Structure 1
Amino acid sequence: MSRYQTRFLTRAHAGAELASALHAYRATGALVLAIPRGGVPVGRVVADALGADFDLVMARRIDAGVALDDTGRTWHTNGAQTGSSAGSLRDPHFDQLCRQRAVYRPVRKPMDPGGRVVIVVDDGLVSGATMHAALASLRKRRPARLVCALPIATRAGLDQVRALADEIVCLDTPDRIENLAHFYHEFQLVSDDRVRQLTGMASAPSPLRAGPGAVASVPSLSKAMLIPYGTTRLRAMLESAPNPIGVALMAHAGGAQRRAARSQYLARKLRARGLATMLVDLKPDSQVDDAAASDVDELTARLVQALKFLRAGTPFAGLPVGLLSAGTAAAAALRAAVDSASQAGAIACMAGRPDLAGEAILRRLETPALLICASGNAQSIRIHQLAFEQMHGPRQLRLVPASSCGFDDRKALAEVATLTADWFERHLAQPSRPCLGYSG
């Protein structure tokens, strides 16, 4: 067992908790500046929650206790160096910093921090060098108040930046951090494209949200939730950019660690297409990869409870909902869709067990259903073909080139994401039309 305790589900989750700690700065005209790349998903959530402006502050660590700011000045954690270099390391790192700045800000100028409350955000702090460079460079530009905000940091690292900030807000301060990834359930590399997308959210709304049927005034959100169910709680993560066209409720049952990277990838792809995502673990205490066939009734009840919570406990109550599930949870989704109270507008089952829903349920199903199956798994194909034949409502069966039902290959997973997003767009954005199809 790991000696580390996971503190946050994702960087967006960390941002949501950090925003709560910074609530005093809500609607004050603050400027949130994130350090690329890991700090950007955190800072974006903080800025949206506070109603603040959002931009980047460029800084880069080049050696132990040494970092560069975006002017090329070298800073040590014990103060600014009088010289402009730190040996042979400085020049190549500054070139890289300049290239990043050109990629992230190809046209617009950075926002001026002068005279403003400025909140500097990163996804964590170990030695403090990068944050030290960012704060030191900003202090020279005369902000009215300079706040250092972090989800997690070592006490020694915070000591290195304490003198530069008017206030430090940090959610957790372990004595030692060997790797920030130990404190996040999902800690993938943040790409340059993702940075560009997050910094452009406020000024470049998705065309999917701009049509006459778009829902107005729905906020961006990133929130970890616990859904009450009997004596237990179901873990859920709800994330969205402003004004989504619908919600993709992504349910799985067991195997959370194995499914985490796949689920996060699919969620990011769906959000990029204008959907909010709600990831729900129907069996949070399970240590196996999937639930047993005998658990379908219980999983269905838990999924229906999650749908009710989505309607009653989130800002997205009025949005159409699509269900995306795999394995035994797919049978639960099909059963839940037959329940008139669920009001699901579409279903997508990837490598699922639709047969476990039962023939009677499949024949009654009217919700548009997309069945996605790996082309290299003969047994899974037979299961999906039989379920497809038993259904009478709008449906499609799509075979994705893959040998594994887990769709571990990135190309196969990308196709699953595209198929699901297309299906949800078609059936959530407008009234459903009969749609039958089979594609290999």
Structure 2
Amino acid sequence: MEDMTSAGNGTAAEVVIPVTGAALGAHLAIPPQAAGLVVFVHGSGSSRHSPRNQYVARYLRDAGLGTLLFDLLNEAEEGDRGNVFDIGLLAGRLSEVLSWVRGQQAARGLPVGLFGASTGAAAALWAAADAGDGVAAVVSRGGRPDLADGRLAAVRAPTLLIVGGLDHTVLELNRQAAAQLTCEHAVEVVPGATHLFPEPGTLQQAATLARDWLVRHVR
């Protein structure tokens, strides 16, 4: 993939990211004078086309942050359900993507945050633990941070866990995971929301919480 250069009106492009054993489709969008870049890590059964993640991404770009939405697995890999829940595999794949994006001229030097959903949140926290200070902040929406058990104490990036108030099992798992975090962290509960935040206004609340956390820490 050719290195992309930024222009006065920013960068927006469909790209292909080469990683070990695969090539991953992605959409990179960096507004003019971006203060940072947020890499989205989707959950099981989702992709860069997730309408929920795209909604949040627009919120972040309006706040002056670039976004990268990419497919963690290619079509053949998604056929094996074991890959979808292999957090070590997903975290390793994310680490390769982070190395790629930092090498792009349009993103070079930008602080990087991670936004994970469902199992993608576990991969984001695992990768953040491995990256140390290389990740500026992490946000999880309806995530399963408990699946990164054993890595949580090593996460240094300020971490926000957003959970629906009616997503009872996942809320309890998030609270248990938060107890293992030693970095700055918070659990925010969106009242009346279930796991995918389909209820009117709940995804907007989650997007606002994510935006405020990422703007504060990634900038």
CA distance in 1, matches of 2:51, 2:90: 22
Runs of 4+ that moved beyond 6 A: none
Residue 198 of structure 2, aligned match among 382, 387, 408: 408
Question: Do residues 306 (structure 1) and 97 (structure 2) align?
Answer: yes
Match of 2:127 in 1: 336
Match of 2:211 in 1: 421
CA distance in 1, matches of 2:57, 2:132: 25
Deviation string, structure 1 residues 165-194 (Cα, Å, up to 9, x no partner): xxxxxxxxxxxxxxxxxxxxxxxxxxxxxx
Match of 2:88 in 1: 297
Question: Do residues 379 (structure 1) and 169 (structure 2) align?
Answer: yes
Q: How many residues get paired?
A: 212
SS state at 1:352 partner: coil
Match of 2:3 in 1: none
- Are the counterparts in 2 of residues 290 and 328 from structure 1 also a CA contact under 8 Å? no
CA distance in 2, matches of 1:222, 1:292: 28
- How has the CA–CA distance of structure 1 residues 314 and 413 changed in structure 2, closer, same or farther, with 3 Å as cutoff? farther
CA distance in 1, matches of 2:83, 2:56: 21
- Are the counterparts in 1 of residues 34 and 66 from structure 2 also a CA contact under 8 Å? yes
SS state at 1:405 partner: coil
Matching residue's letter, 1:408 = P
Residue 284 of structure 1: CA displacement? Answer: 2.9
> 1:9-158 counterparts in 2 under 5 A?
none
SS state at 2:179 partner: helix
SS state at 2:136 partner: strand
Match of 1:143 in 2: none
Structure 1 spans left out of the alignment, 5+ residues: 1-47, 50-217, 430-440
Question: Do residues 321 (structure 1) and 87 (structure 2) align?
Answer: no
Residue 236 of structure 1: CA displacement? Answer: 1.0
Matching residue's letter, 1:377 = D
Structure 2 spans left out of the alignment, 5+ residues: 1-5
CA distance in 2, matches of 1:288, 1:375: 32
Matching residue's letter, 2:213 = W
Deviation string, structure 1 residues 316-362 (Cα, Å, up to 9, x no partner): 1101111001111111110111123771100000111101101x311
- Are the counterparts in 1 of residues 132 and 156 from structure 2 also a CA contact under 8 Å? no
* TM-score, with structure 1 as normaliser: 0.45
Residue 289 of structure 1: CA displacement? Answer: 9.5
CA distance in 2, matches of 1:362, 1:268: 29
Higher-RCO chain (CA-CA 8 Å, sequence separation at least 6): 2
SS state at 1:397 partner: strand
Deviation string, structure 1 residues 262-290 (Cα, Å, up to 9, x no partner): 12111111111111111011023126999
CA distance in 1, matches of 2:9, 2:81: 34
Question: Do residues 364 (structure 1) and 173 (structure 2) align?
Answer: no
Match of 1:390 in 2: 180
CA distance in 1, matches of 2:192, 2:79: 26
Residue 402 of structure 1: CA displacement? Answer: 3.4
Question: Do residues 351 (structure 1) and 155 (structure 2) align?
Answer: no
SS state at 1:325 partner: strand
CA distance in 2, matches of 1:349, 1:220: 27
- Alignment RMSD (CA, Å): 2.3
CA distance in 2, matches of 1:249, 1:290: 23
Question: Do residues 279 (structure 1) and 48 (structure 2) align?
Answer: no
- Are the counterparts in 1 of residues 47 and 71 from structure 2 also a CA contact under 8 Å? no
- Are the counterparts in 1 of residues 45 and 84 from structure 2 also a CA contact under 8 Å? no
Matching residue's letter, 1:329 = G
- Are the counterparts in 2 of residues 355 and 383 from structure 1 also a CA contact under 8 Å? yes
SS state at 2:27 partner: strand
Deviation string, structure 1 residues 352-393 (Cα, Å, up to 9, x no partner): 1101101x3111221100001110011011100101111111
Residue 231 of structure 1, aligned match among 13, 17, 21: 21
- Are the counterparts in 2 of residues 311 and 318 from structure 1 also a CA contact under 8 Å? yes
Match of 2:40 in 1: 250
SS state at 2:139 partner: strand
Residue 404 of structure 1: CA displacement? Answer: 2.0
- How has the CA–CA distance of structure 1 residues 337 and 414 changed in structure 2, closer, same or farther, with 3 Å as cutoff? same
